[in-house]
Amino acid sequence: MHKKSAAEKVILTLLTVLVIIFFMFPIVWLVTTAFKYGRDAFAIPPKWFLFDWTFKNFQEALDNAATGKFILNSLIISTGATTLSLALGVPAGYAIARTKSRLINLSSYFFLLLLMVPPIAMLIPFYLIMRDVHLLGSYWAVILIDTAFDASFVVWMMRSYFADVPREMEEAAWVDGASRIGAFFKVALPLSIPGVAASALYTFIYSWNDFLFALMLTSPKTKTIPLGILASFSAVEIGWGRMATLSVFAIIPAVIISLFLNRYFVQGLTMGATKG
Amino acid sequence: MQKMKVALYLVLALTLLVGMVGCGPAATEAPAEPPAEEAPTAVPPEATTAPPMEEAKPYEGVELSLASMTDQYVAAFRYLIPVFEEETGIKVVMDELGYVDLRTKTVADFVGDTAQYDLMTVDIVWSGEYGANGYTLALDDFMARDAEEMNLDDIMPVAWTLGEWEGKHYAFPLAGYANVLNYRADLLAEAGIEPPATQEELLAAAQALTKEDGSQYGIALLGAGSAGAQDFMAFVQQHGGTILDADGNVKVNTPENVAILEFFGSLFDYAPPGAADYWWDQRESAFRDGIVAMMEGWSIARAGYENPEISNIVGLVDITKAPVSEGMEPQYGFGGWGIGINADSDPVKQEAAWEFIKWVTSEEVQKEWLRHDGAPIRRSTLTDPELVAEYPWLPLMLESFEKGNGDYRPRFPQYSIVEDALGTYVNAFLTGQETAQDALDKAQTQIEANMP
Amino acid sequence: MTQSFTKTMRRFITNDGSYLLLALPLLIFVVVIAIYPLFFSFRISLFDYRLTDPNQTQTFVGFGNYLRAFTDEVITNSVKATLVYVAGTVVVEILLGLGMALLLSAETRIAQIIRSFLLIPMALPPLVVGLVWKSLYNVDFGIIPYYLAQLGIDLGRGPLSELHLAMPSIILVDVWEWTPLVMILFLAGIKSLPTEPYEAATVDGASRLQSFWYLTLPLLKPTFLVVLLLRTMQSFKVFDTIYATTAGGPGTLTTVLNYQIYKVGLTFFDMGYAAALANILLVIVAILSILYIMVLERQQL
């Protein structure tokens, strides 16, 4: 291997620093703005760290009954969609990975295609259908449409995961008299917990971050955090402080997953995208 | 594996914790204390006047959902709703929404027949659509029944345009706004400029008050989306123009309107650089920040300039009638909000909602409404000596209301199609994408294509 | 004959039958929740159907809504805007993502930590991303125009309102959000490269630039294709960040097709036309998706 010269090292370090600054400054701005009084938020020149830190915005957000409701609704919808997607998607992923039937096998591409459908194209008819069955505004409306996308992802992801799990143990279970389905639950599933976890993270984040579906399908009682963030803007003033504070609540899962569970998240991303 | 499990539990615990912290205050619901306010009269308005009534709470336990625009008056709702709940036992849950979202969500509620909202604030420009499509309940039966206690003659005639459509009332007047000219008395005096009385003087003053170095601009305007469309229509009105032809059809691309759009564009030369992108919040922030000398706008924002928490220009602002084009019979833009009842709501809720409307628009409550950033609709409020002493600009508003024109933005059912097209193409002109003629031609084409 | 048939049947029941049973709940769910709406969408696209019409009449207009789309200037503009947006984001992200993958491919602790921080943007709610950038771009109070002004660069009406800046500005938001994903996919690609050709190249005295150009790039071709198609399709779906930043402006400059469909369908409730537009978008994306799947298939071999 070539040795890197000193000059090259400096340039590479410099580039790395630039990359870090570019990707991190908006997040730093967001988080610090949540701790600023209005006058510091609009200060020119900008104040990055030396300003009067305050919990005023958080105090106000927590005093407002709506904030808790938004977070709770987001949790209900994300948890609901994740649970349903796993319950439907994991067995289907297993079936596709193990079957010799060409038809079932082909259905994996069908799920992949579904994953590509632009959300707005699905939302227009879905809105009308939900209206006709009187589910508009319920948690179910959002959970169901989220699951259509989430579950398709889970199938695609779990299919490649199960394909990497050796069959021998399942075959041994068959010999011991277990059914195909029994072997899935007793043998294959426990071996694939990391894959399930990666799928769960991805689907949770997807539902948590959703804005378009929630915008059209929720009611004032089932509103999620992104909609709450949007309402922090008024005709009276630019509501950066309120927006930043609610956003801090909204980004908690993203930050936790990125920093502490990144291995599984990355696995989900790369597998979902590339493994055939 | 183990590490991941631990981490997963951590996530779960954290989300639960966040959820719980967030939910804590939810249990206590309405804020126990009214928000801080300038006026010292924190006594609930009717606590002293209303005699204790035995059968007073016929709708106790009914829960109403109110969709409110996050305009200034939302602060008055926040303050008054607990008082109303205390008095009547009716619970009012308010959902605060921005302008665009309020329209999207309420119209979605109407067309979906979901009755998610029982009460909604209705912008003057939506009243035709809501009335013609039967989205909100015609209030005439209620009004006839309770006319005596409501003193309807006290309501300013122009305020009825807030909810009237083809002879019926689909929203009750809630907050009347007059289009006025706010200006920085200090800056104008310093430059030796009289407050402009005509549009031509306005342009000249804007030019004179703009400093080369970018430290001060002549005028703040609205340039984007609904806000830009509405500001343009306000200028059309002030130049004596109209966007309708003699038969009442939309005709935005007349030579007169093209000239007015060009005038509107020339004002932007003396506005802050970002103005082409301004909605109401940014325009207000720019004016209160102190970088702008003049601003035409709704009278409801006036009180905010005296609030040191949000304003750098306390004591420096004066207000005058919105200038009209030279030689034109003065006529002032009137706007604001009505409050409507969802036609799909349960009849009991509709009755309870009517109680709320009656209460919040009553003479006594209107005083507190005004003191908490609400806007007046009654002559008695505008002429109340006590209030006039507190808010010296009320007589000017009264005058503007009396010569008010609430129809300069056509309130017909297709208004939002017109507003959307104008918003897009006025902005396209302001940002240099289209000439004034092309912009209005394209707006016209777009309007015709989208009309049913 | 009968014997082999029962045998096949039994095999089917224990094997494929069981598997079908495992996959069935999802298949039913997807048909009801996703496929049916898409058919329904096709049906309403043939009608003039406005929810704001008090009588809720549905008038059959055949392909009228589709024809209207082809003559609607806003739509032709939005198709153009969409293509510019997609091309811009994908090209910049691939170049930047590849560069970052090479820069941060070392398996050192510090590189790992940096990489995990870089995951944050793409895990954030896109709406929040849009609102944050809108604030940063604010020409009066935002920090980006401020620092650029310090450097002597005047942004005029601001990044989101100047005609030549608006599109690059929203592309930059997408670049910020999604380049880390591209980086990760390239990292995975780089990790799976064989080592022998490089050793041979070093022996032959090839420079690092040469081995990058003649070895790494060709070997990464499959990754390039996957990234290209994946990001193209995702880029077509953009909505939240546009909604939060430009709302389609200045004028109609950044009104991408998705945003226009939203406006037609869910603010004017002109459902028939919106469904027709959505179906046009669907066809564009479906063609890309099938290409993507073909690439994935080829790669497996």
* Same domain, residue pair B188 and B318: yes
| Distance in angstroms (rounded) separating the CA atoms of residues C31 and A144 | 12
C-alpha B368: how far from its chain's center?
Answer: 18
CB C186 within 8 A of CB C180: no
CB B334 within 8 A of CB B405: yes
| Distance in angstroms (rounded) separating the CA atoms of residues C133 and A107 | 40
Helix (H) or strand (E) holding B265: helix B255-267
* Same domain, residue pair B231 and B242: yes
Residues 6+ apart with CB under 8 A from A259: C116, C117, C119, C120
What tokens were used for B319?
Answer: 């207000």
Which chains reach chain B with 3 or more Cβ–Cβ distances below 8 angstroms? A, C
Domain range for B164: 61-177+335-405
Identify the pLDDT of residue B14.
45
| Distance in angstroms (rounded) separating the CA atoms of residues A124 and C47 | 14
Q: Which residues of B touch C141 (CB under 8 A)?
A: 285
* Same domain, residue pair B160 and B192: no
Identify the pLDDT of residue C2.
62
| Distance in angstroms (rounded) separating the CA atoms of residues B129 and C217 | 60
| Distance in angstroms (rounded) separating the CA atoms of residues C240 and A118 | 13
Identify the pLDDT of residue B28.
34
What tokens were used for C46?
Answer: 């043939």
Identify the pLDDT of residue C300.
61
Identify the pLDDT of residue B368.
94
Partner residue facing B427 (CB), from C53, C73, C249: C249
pTM: 0.89
| Distance in angstroms (rounded) separating the CA atoms of residues A84 and A152 | 12
Q: Can you give the residue ranges of every domain in chain A?
A: 1-54, 64-274
CB A203 within 8 A of CB A81: yes
Residue whose structure tokens are 């017909």: B412
CB A237 within 8 A of CB B281: yes
Burial B131-162 (b: 16+ CB within 10 A, else e): bbbebbbbbeebbeeeeeebebeebbebbbbb
Identify the pLDDT of residue B56.
67
Give average pLDDT by consecutive 10-residue segment, chain A, 276 residues: 76 94 95 87 83 88 87 96 96 89 80 88 92 92 95 89 84 83 86 89 92 93 93 82 92 88 77 61
Number of domains in chain B: 2
* Same domain, residue pair B322 and B242: yes
* Same domain, residue pair B363 and B307: no
Domain assignment present for residue B430? The answer is yes
Residue C10 has pLDDT above 90, yes or no: no
Topology at the third CATH level for domain A64-274: MetI-like fold (1.10.3720)
Helix (H) or strand (E) holding B380: helix B379-382
**A/C interface, count of CB pairs below 8 Å:** 264
Domain assignment present for residue B16? The answer is no
Q: Chain C interface, mutation test: which of B277, B426, B447, most C Cβ atoms within 10 Å?
A: B277
Instruction: Compute φ and ψ for B54, nearest 5 degrees.
Output: -75, -50
* Same domain, residue pair B263 and B329: yes
pLDDT tens, residue order, chain B (452 aa): 444 444 445 444 444 444 433 333 333 333 334 444 444 444 444 444 444 444 568 899 999 999 999 999 999 999 999 999 999 999 999 999 999 899 989 999 999 889 999 999 999 999 999 999 999 999 999 999 999 899 999 999 999 999 999 999 999 999 999 999 999 999 999 999 999 999 999 999 999 999 988 889 999 999 999 999 999 999 999 999 999 998 889 999 999 999 999 999 999 999 998 899 999 989 998 999 899 999 999 998 888 899 887 888 999 999 999 999 988 888 899 999 999 999 999 999 999 999 999 999 999 999 999 999 999 999 999 999 999 999 999 999 999 999 998 889 999 988 999 999 999 999 999 999 999 999 999 999 999 988 87
Nearest CA in chain C to B100: C267
Identify the pLDDT of residue A45.
84
Location of each CATH 1.10.3720.10 domain in chain C: 72-300
* Same domain, residue pair B380 and B423: no
Which residues 206-225 of C have a C-beta within 8 angstroms of A?
208, 223
What tokens were used for C90?
Answer: 């994908």
* Same domain, residue pair B353 and B250: no
Best CA proximity match to A269, nearest among C40, C271, C97, C260: C97
pLDDT tens readout for residues C61-87:
999 999 999 988 899 999 999 999 999
pLDDT tens readout for residues A21-74:
999 999 999 999 999 887 788 777 888 888 889 898 898 888 888 899 999 999
Terminal CA-CA length for chain B: 60
Partner residue facing C161 (CB), from B111, B112, B276: B276
What tokens were used for B433?
Answer: 């994408």
Please check whether residue C247 touches B, CB under 8 A.
Answer: yes
Cis peptide before A45, with omega less than 30 degrees from 0? Answer: yes
Structural class in CATH, domain C72-300: mainly alpha
Q: Which residues of A touch B95 (CB under 8 A)?
A: 66, 220, 223
Q: Which residues of A touch B23 (CB under 8 A)?
A: 68-69, 71-72
- The alpha-carbon gap from A213 to the nearest alpha carbon of chain B, in Å, equals 13
Partner residue facing B25 (CB), from A62, A137, A230: A62
Best CA proximity match to C279, nearest among C297, C294, C264: C264
For the CA atoms of chain C, what is the radius of gyration?
25
Nearest CA in chain B to A233: B98
DSSP secondary structure of C98-126: HHHHHHT-S-SHHHHHHHHHHTHHHHS-H
Residue C174 has pLDDT above 90, yes or no: yes
Contact B22 A72 (CB under 8 A): yes
- The alpha-carbon gap from A13 to the nearest alpha carbon of chain B, in Å, equals 31
Domain assignment present for residue B7? The answer is no
Please check whether residue A143 touches C, CB under 8 A.
Answer: no
Domain assignment present for residue B20? The answer is no
User: What percent of chain C lies above the pLDDT cut of 70?
Assistant: 94
Let me know how long chain A is: 276
| Distance in angstroms (rounded) separating the CA atoms of residues B122 and B163 | 8
Residues 6+ apart with CB under 8 A from A133: none
Domain assignment present for residue B211? The answer is yes
- The alpha-carbon gap from C158 to the nearest alpha carbon of chain B, in Å, equals 6
* Same domain, residue pair B120 and B222: no
Burial C41-51 (b: 16+ CB within 10 A, else e): beebbbbbbbb
Q: Which residues of B touch A247 (CB under 8 A)?
A: none
Residue C217 has pLDDT above 80, yes or no: yes
Identify the pLDDT of residue B37.
40
Other Cβ atoms less than 10 A from the Cβ of C210: the count is: 12
β-pair partners for B341: B119
Nearest CA in chain B to A135: B114
C-alpha B207: how far from its chain's center?
Answer: 29
Residue C250 has pLDDT above 50, yes or no: yes
Please check whether residue C139 touches A, CB under 8 A.
Answer: no
